Homo-oligomer: A and B are copies of this chain.
Amino acid sequence: MSITASTTKYEKIYSREKNKVEKKLNGLLKGKQPKSLYEPCDYIISSGGKRIRAMLILLSAKAVGAVYSSAYNAAAAVEILHNFTLVHDDIMDNADKRRGMPTLHIKYDLSTAILAGDNLIAIAYDNLLKDSPLNAKRVLQTFTQGIMEVCEGQSYDKEFEVKRKVTIDDYILMITKKTAALAEMCCSIGAQIGGGSASEINMLKKYGLNLGIAFQLQDDLLDIMGDEEEFGKKVGGDLIEGKKTYLFLRALEKSKGENRRALEAVIANKGIRKNQVKKYKNIYDELDVINDTAKQVTAYTAKALRSIKKVKDDEAREMFTWLANSLLKRKK
């Protein structure tokens, strides 16, 4: 089978299962009262996205021998939870657009966005409970732990915005909590709902965790590498906003003299001007940090792939492999 043919096969499965989750999400809140609460909740959960977290749940259930349909509600739950984080993060980041649409606090108002986000947490639990086994305690504990880690990660992220000295280890801890913990949680919950053994749950958790870290590092890379039109957001946005990304921290670590002073100025000035992006991209090139980051992405992806080698279900294992490789090659 050629690479193209198998890609199509996996894309088809992804798309088929994604549509099942979409359908569940789209029908969930229609007509619920009060409209002032449920319309904004519906606005965000129906606004699309890759639904990768839902897929991690479904594939993890499949990996331990269950059918996809055993975890559709749980898959919807993690997407709802992810959307809650987007709504509240967009307030904190003063973001006015998301997926090409106005963010919730812009379309409605601050109070509505806070309240809709809160309600989404409860709606997420409500859906998770529908797919949880009678002995639901551990599933719920895993989910709850995931929410706390996301909050902790977001808190570190906000902290790092104003903190002058942030190490690469600090940064990895932050993205582990803010992004990777949720992916790890998805794999754990899918495997638990599917009835997996402790060792099966553990290997799938490792996949989610490492995939999540690779995903975020790739995001950092794409910000400076991306094609402005294809990527959909401005190139070098992280530098403009003065974000301490992996690339930036690695550059700072390797730099001396003039380059170091230029990088320290980004911290002192809390960002750069748009017309300075090219200059900083040159510094990144000179210090070879784009390559360093790409190597990290490859290493974390390889780690993720190693951990699912023993997955017995062929389709799940192949889908996990395809998914990790697709994310590695993604342009946005």
CA distance A135 to B137 in the complex (A): 7
Q: A129-B137, A140-B129 are in contact. Are A154 and B115 (CB under 8 A)?
A: yes
Shortest Cβ distance from A38 into chain B, in angstroms?
A: 9
Q: A148-B122, A151-B115 are in contact. Are A159 and B34 (CB under 8 A)?
A: yes
Chain B, Cβ-Cβ closest to A123? B148
Contact string, A188-210, partner B, CB cutoff 8 A, digits 1/0? 00000000000000000000000
Is A151 a contact of B119 with CB atoms below 8 Å? yes
The answer to whether the Cβ of A136 comes within 8 Å of any Cβ in the partner chain is: yes
CA distance A86 to B111 in the complex (A): 13
The answer to whether the Cβ of A322 comes within 8 Å of any Cβ in the partner chain is: no
CA distance A129 to B8 in the complex (A): 43
CA distance A141 to B159 in the complex (A): 35
- Find the residue from A126, A132, A136, A158 having the highest chain B CB count within 10 A: A136
The answer to whether the Cβ of A117 comes within 8 Å of any Cβ in the partner chain is: yes
Contacts of A36 in B (CB 8 A): 155-156, 158-159
Contacts of A33 in B (CB 8 A): 152
Contacts of A34 in B (CB 8 A): 152, 155-156, 159
Name 12 A/B residue pairs within 8 A (Cβ), A-sorted. Answer: A33-B152, A34-B156, A37-B151, A88-B118, A92-B111, A114-B114, A115-B155, A115-B158, A125-B140, A126-B141, A126-B148, A135-B135
Residues of A at under 8 Å CB distance from B?
33-34, 36-37, 84, 88, 91-92, 110-112, 114-115, 117-119, 121-123, 125-126, 129, 132, 134-137, 140-141, 144-145, 147-148, 151-152, 154-156, 158-159
